[in-house]
Amino acid sequence: MGKVILIGAGPGDAQLLTVKGLAALQKADVIVYDRLVEPAMLQERKASCKLIYVGKEPSHHPIPQEEIEQILVRESKVNELVVRLKAGDPYVFGRGGEEGETLYQAGIPFEVIPGITSAIGGLAYAGIPVTHRDFASSFHVITGHLKKGRDPLDWEALARLEGTLVFLMGMTNLPNICANLLAGGRKPETAVGIVQWASRGKQLTVTGDLVTIEQKVAESGISSPALIVVGDVVTLRPQLNFFEEMPLFHTKILLPRARAGKSMLAENIRDLGGEVTMYPNIQVLDIKPTTTAEQLARKSELLFTSKEAVERFFSYVTEINLDIRSLKNTHLTAIGKQTNEAFKEKGIIPDTFIKRRSNELVLEHLPRIQKNESSLIIGSVIDTAEVKAMLPEITSIQMMPLYDMRPVTERPFDLQCFDQICFASSRAVHNLLEVLTSEEKALLQQKTILSIGKFTSATLKTFGFHDFYEAESATPESLIKLIKKTKLEGVPQ
């Protein structure tokens, strides 16, 4: 029998998942997740992790709550760690208490990792503090999703409260909420805010009062998922609205991936308020090397193509009981900034650092590599093959792949909804365009396409793409600059 962890995913932004929640997510054998969970969180799972979708939509629950609870019981009996990933906090109208009770009755150990509820975090992203010394010394979180024919709320008592009122899951009941608060004595000019998709790049906020808010919602097109906040704290939004003022707010970007792991480019885009979808999910499969300690010791140069290669190499030399000091006369080369930093984390400064751009490897370092004919390229299957292809003159160079990266080709997105498609490498171009249909490629031609540099641009052209914009230099910083330029100016000069 395994264990179940109920994890709160937070209000929406994947970066608001707690550190403890992320650690559990990465270890999970099974993840049972809701509709409002940000897909980027699921990409943190290990390759063998099983996903079970149990999402509920307003007035449509394809999988009843009782069945969800039985899924947790069933999966925990055959898996070591089952994660129930829920939007917000498990115990704030998330029915986590009911799931915990079921697990307790079944004798299954469980744990709860709290999440940031949208009643607090979602409002903060809309520039609305849930409390403030001058406006509200208390707040009250209320479910707006009431059972049909039943209204257990004391509206007169709620109307008399001077604190902030936050209604979750209440958009369908907005007219009733406003009418009942007015009938209970709340002033018509009481400020009201509606926040849809709180903390995400597509967040939409509308403000008004108890009389005007319904009309403003109708004009804006806001619908579920959204939260309702009633109180004077809403008037602080013009001063505290930090998120919606970010330069890439409401910019939806597709970032095709070439590698597994975290993407600093994606994190930088999110830090600027953009919404990023990364595709595809990359599975990393370890490869057992056949190179012996004696063979490694005879190599004159080791070329590392990635930080993952460095990490796996050090694990391998430990496994074969090779003292790294025996390689003191071996030339170590790091290809790429992250590879170089991975060496430094090990307390080693590589003899050569090659920037991962243009033809520098061939043009600048070919003469030296030619002298070191007994060289070994260490990295992924794709990386080692690509680097060797750049060195056709050297026939004796060998490869030591330590892992393979395989794209998972499910596509949980609609190309139509993206503002920009940003390619940060030639491999990323292949990973996306090789799986698109001719109709999808035609649709892609109508989008704003950005390329990080001339190698990536050349690959785009081989697929028939010519109408795109290229960053000034092949760096993430330059690509970010281009993203901002196209957002602010429409078309770069």
Query: Which residues carry out catalysis?
Result: 34, 56, 169
Exposure b/e, 165-182, CB count within 10 A at least 16 = b: bbbbbbbebbeebbebbb
DSSP reduced 3-state for 1:
coil
Residue 303 vs residues 39, 365, 369, 372, 386: alpha-carbon distances, Å: 35, 12, 10, 11, 13
Query: Helix or strand or coil: residue 46?
Result: coil
Q: Among candidates 243, 238, 241, 240, which has minimal Cα distance to 271?
A: 243
CA atoms within 13 A on the CB side of 158: 23
Burial degree of 323 (CB within 10 A; 0-12, 13-18, 19+): exposed
Look at strands 275-279 and 281-286 and give their pairing: unpaired
Question: Are the C-beta atoms of 192 and 209 separated by less than 8 Å?
Answer: yes
The alpha carbon of residue 195 and the mean position of all alpha carbons in its chain are separated, in whole angstroms, by: 21
And the tokens for 478?
A: 């330059």
Q: Which helix (H) or strand (E) holds 240?
A: helix 237-240
- Whether the link from the prior residue into 247 is cis, omega within 30° of 0, is no
DSSP string, 171-191: GGGHHHHHHHHHHTT--TT-E
User: Which residues, in sequence order, are CB contacts of 351 under 8 Å at separation 6+?
Assistant: 331, 332, 333
| Pair of tokens at residue 403 | 């892992």
What CA–CA distance (Å, rounded) separates 4 from 68? 13
Tokens 């990080």 belong to residue: 452
Residue type, 438: S
C-alpha 215 chain-centroid distance: 35
- Alpha-carbon distance of 324 to 314, in angstroms, equals 8
Cis? peptide before 175, omega within 30° of 0: no
Task: Report how far residue 240's alpha carbon sits from residue 161's, in angstroms, rounded to the nearest whole number.
Answer: 24
Q: DSSP letter for 143, please.
A: E
